[in-house]
Structure 1
């Protein structure tokens, strides 16, 4: 009886766990399942389910100079943020991984702070600093802010790879005549490729998806797509927003799939 009771309890626990996981997945997926159909609606307002189907809101997005300008700013910012964050994050992660100096530990805390501080406080602080130095509504200011926000995720992803790597291999390469940089490029970097891909993905998506800081410091010709979407939600709610959201969802899925395949390769 005790064994049967235990097996029944175990089975019940398994069923409850499965139901809980399914409920969480539905909670995460349902908003996506609602947004995508709404983007194909013929109606002039957000409607679910759509009564008639159309591509008019995708056409409205691609034919709008304002939306295209915002998309261009977001893409440029994300690409530059990623390109700058990776080498800085790599240098920081390498130093943190190979040093026990207190100054390096302090540097680690400072670099990871943007991930721990509420984003609204960061946005307010960046705004007041930029207001003094004239970087409000500038692409340079936007990129610098996004680099600060992306760096913690880049460092954590790269640190995970470095801590699973046997650094003695790099030491052997250096003992054979390679300098530190060549040894890193030839031995270490290829073996932490999955972490580099993850860091690249984190940096790009962090920049592309960032909204709060952009609300404070972007504007004019340098308005990001997320800020433009926020403004549209406030002033003119139409399915164009759903169309853009669907495009961003598709882009994110493509990036994740490509990154996953590169990791396996």
Structure 2
């Protein structure tokens, strides 16, 4: 048993190394004094981070990414949370069908989803607009909210809400004071993952780009195809650091919540 567990840990560790080590090469490359991608760098310089801040195209793309993610997150939270409550009220077959449909953006290749959205938005004159970009990325972000919220809803003690209702609390008050605090960790986690998914999304943003609707990943892609320089490494490093910190904070929040639940359970 111990041997199999050690083997499992070893496999997980190797997979983690395989995923993270190539990413770590971005950091020294972003600090290179050279004008091309080189590892190891010929010298050290922060010029590419300065270029990232001073170049209008890069600065505008970063602002657009933050703006889009800030609008996508609340939309995905509302839709995903309402969908989670709705699925719980359905029968088993309908719930399975509904869940499969709602999480399909995670399963269907992004290029197919992006082409479908692009074709639809062309007819609605939303292609190349900020509104279209927000709506398109919301479709991709909803599953990231639905899954953690639905998990919390399936795991919490529904008798507590029933007790509040039986004691005369209005439905909204029972939801606000009993249900919402119990599922809040799932909502927060879903919101964070939706923000990260939107901020880091490329395929849909690439097809829906336009004046004022070019995100940071799209700017990075365009720069690779036009003029590759270490500015891309600097932007990639910032993306990796931001996403890693956000996920780490969510993970720490989950651990703290579980510890509190364990203490109260005892």
- Please name the residue that 2:127 is paired with: 136
Query: 2:210 maps to which residue?
Result: 219
Partner-residue secondary structure (3-state), 1:220: coil
Shift of 1:82: 0.5
Alignment of 1:81-120 (within 5 A): 81-100=72-91, 106-120=97-111
Q: State the shift of 1:254 in Å.
A: 2.2
Question: Is the counterpart of residue 164 in structure 1 residue 176 in structure 2?
Answer: no
Tell which structure's C-alpha radius of gyration is larger: 1
Q: Which residue among 145, 167, 179 is the counterpart of 1:154?
A: 145
Provide TM-score, normalisation by structure 2: 0.89
Tell me the alpha carbon deviations over residues 185-222 of structure 1, each in whole angstroms, 9 at most, x when there is no partner: 21111112221221012101110111111111112221
Q: 1:3 aligns to what?
A: none
| Number of residue pairs aligned between Structure 1 and Structure 2 | 256
Return 5+ residue gaps in structure 1 as ranges.
1-6
1:18 positional shift: 5.0
* Partner in structure 1 of residue 221 of structure 2: 230
- 1:222 is paired with a residue whose SS is coil
Whole-Å separation in 2 of the counterparts to 1:185 and 1:206: 28
Matched, 1:35 2:26: yes
RMSD: 2.0
Q: State the TM-score, normalized to the length of structure 1.
A: 0.89
Cα distance in 2, alignment partners of residues 255 and 15 from structure 1 = 29
How far did residue 148 of structure 1 move? 0.6
1:253 and 1:125 map into 2 onto residues whose CA distance is: 31
Change (3 A) 1:152 1:15: closer
Q: Which moved more, 1:92-101 or 1:151-160?
A: 92-101
Aligned to 1:4: none
